[in-house]
Chain A
Amino acid sequence: MINKNILSKMLLAVVATFTLVSCETESNYEEEVPSIANIAVSNAGFSVLEAAAVQGGVAVVLSNNNPNDASGDYTVFAPTNDAFARLGLNEETLGVLQTPFLTNTLLYHVSNGNLLGNAIYGGGSSTSVLGLDRRFIERGNDTFINGSKILATNINASNGTVHVIDKVMIATGVDIVQSAIALQSSQVFTSPELSFLVEAVIYADLAGALTASAGSPSFTVFAPTDQAFKDLGTALGLTFTVPADIRQLPKDLVATVLLNHVIGNNGKFTSELNAGTVTPLGGEDLTLGAFTNGTLTVTGAGNAQAANMVIPDVQTTNGIVHVIDRVLLPNLN
């Protein structure tokens, strides 16, 4: 009897001990380093990036080691929720973007290997996994990648490094004309944008000048939205409903106005622009406002009000495009 009692207690003790020892506790794995995808998912400030990564199909990619780099690492410049909000994007509205464009945009933020903060300096550059370069720019005490300010560096992940930026970076991988056509043909947003601009460029025979070719120059281009052209029509006492309505204006006038939006300065990001004047190909100076919160206003000689950048810092193969909400007018008198 005593033996059996001891046996029973021993048995239960063994099971009890095992059960308690096998309890899952944080200490089992809290030492593990999160992946880049895990960092995005764990941090409320990256919830839009998380949603974009799911929608764009890169969440699994950024969970794993990089098969295309000996280090197994990626470097990611991670836009905050505020960065997405600048473009009107959040978890709900991400659907306005075409998925292939979203995926490419995310991959433009990613490079192979570990690029640590101390290797990031003004004048340098880094090639994204898309194959397109990003430029580093110093401005005052801040460092920018393209037009995006680097807010924090060197967040360590199991599969690389995360730096935090304040703007989403956009690169089209094609030239200015093709970039505008991509927007016009709904390859970027699910609905067309810049369709009046594309029409105007074709009508004014400027497509050739803005198309990249060997040795061709690079530009900074201010690209008015469709609404900006519609507003211009209204201001002129006309009705612009469809892009072809732009042809109600004389071709020479359209060409003059368009050339007022193009600056032959090799293409500048907002981080490289300063308050003051710049001279467009049209010849009449544009006035840039103060560099505030990563953007500048721009005003044509014939404008009563300044234009705002709604999508700044779009990198193309022959320049930088800033999408603006007003057509920049020269003095038409």
Chain B
Amino acid sequence: MKIKMNFITSLCLFFPAILLAQSPVSGFMKNKGEGAAVVSYSYEKYDKVFLVPAEIDGVPVFNEVSVSSISLYGEFGITDNFDVVVNVPYIKAKGSASEQVLANNGFENERKGIQDFQIFGKYRFKSFGFEKSKLDLIGALGLQTPLGDYKANEGIQSIVAIGNQSTSFTAMGIAMFKTNAGVFTSGQLGYSIRGNDVPNALLSELKIGYAASKFYVDAFIANQLSDKKGTDILQEGFTGFFPETRVNSTRIGLNAYVPIYSGIGLTGGVNSYIAGRNLGKATGFYGGLAYSF
């Protein structure tokens, strides 16, 4: 029963990830030879921006920006204690500037393409069994690198860029505590070293949820704190190169999964940035189809 529960819950956690503050790795592990593949669609939109010192109403030039993506996600258990996670998103960012404003500036409303390839290895290095619960300690290492040749250096146009064209390395520690009744909570803390002048960032996430054979649900709060060497948009040091801005964020959200038939299930969730720095105040949702084996 416990194995079954882990198996199901491990399918479903982390899809909208890539642009997003939510971590691509969870505290659930695959058994050896087992895996999951997910195709998901996500959509988020913002018309307010967290700038310093205050939030502004209306995205400069583009008024409102929506970001939609289709992601392919896979996770596979190499051993019972070592999983590999990969993710590739195709992203479309779309502004709402009028034709006239676009013509005035030589801008375009849309940027789209394959963004970054992301791969994580995660290793459960310690597991504590208790009477009615279990604590796993997991370490994860990840690489994210641009797959597409999308542009990140188009000045103000890059308000609708789909990524930072940056290669990053992330190390992460995860503590996962779950009870036999299905309630679980996990915390993760990581640090990401980033290229292309993107400030390095401290990442953290706290999640609480319920995982049973018939469904899975969790709520999370995720943070990114960028190094202070990053610049603030339209403040001293800003050069018009958005990747070097200091992006902080606090995002909350819900994720859910229901199995449908023979390893196939549906996943979905909602999420919203509740605070941030140099970031669109986006709210979004996602849905996806998961297949596990």
Contacts and interface: CB of A to CB of B under 8 A. Distances in A.
Interface string B167-199: 000000001010000000101110000000000
Interface string B208-244: 0000000000000101010000001111111110000
Nearest to B100: A92
**How would you classify the secondary structure of chain A's contact residues: helix, strand, loop or mixed?**
helix
B270 interface: no
Interface stretch (B6-14, B54-62, B256-264): B54-62
A15 B128 contact: no
Interface stretch (B31-39, B101-109, B141-149): B101-109
Interface in A1-53: 1, 4-5, 7-8, 11-12, 14-16, 18-20, 22-26, 28-35, 37-38, 41-42, 44, 47, 50-51
B52 A32 contact: yes
A1 to B, nearest CB: 7
B235 A5 contact: no
B250 interface: yes
A51 B53 CA distance: 20
Contact of B61 (A16, A20, A44, A54): A54
Contact of A35 (B55, B175, B205, B234): B234
A32 B53 CA distance: 6
B51 A19 contact: no
Given A12-B175, A63-B235, A63-B236, A25 B275 contact: yes
Contacts, number: 141
Contacts of A64: 236-238
B156 interface: yes
Interface residues of A, number: 48
Contact of B189 (A15, A26, A41): A15
Nearest to B239: A60
Interface string A135-179: 000000000000000000000001100000000000000000000
A93 interface: yes
B121 interface: no
B177 A15 contact: no
Given A23-B223, A35-B235, A94-B104, A18 B189 contact: yes
Interface of A: 1, 4-5, 7-8, 11-12, 14-16, 18-20, 22-26, 28-35, 37-38, 41-42, 44, 47, 50-51, 54-55, 59-60, 63-65, 91-95, 158-159
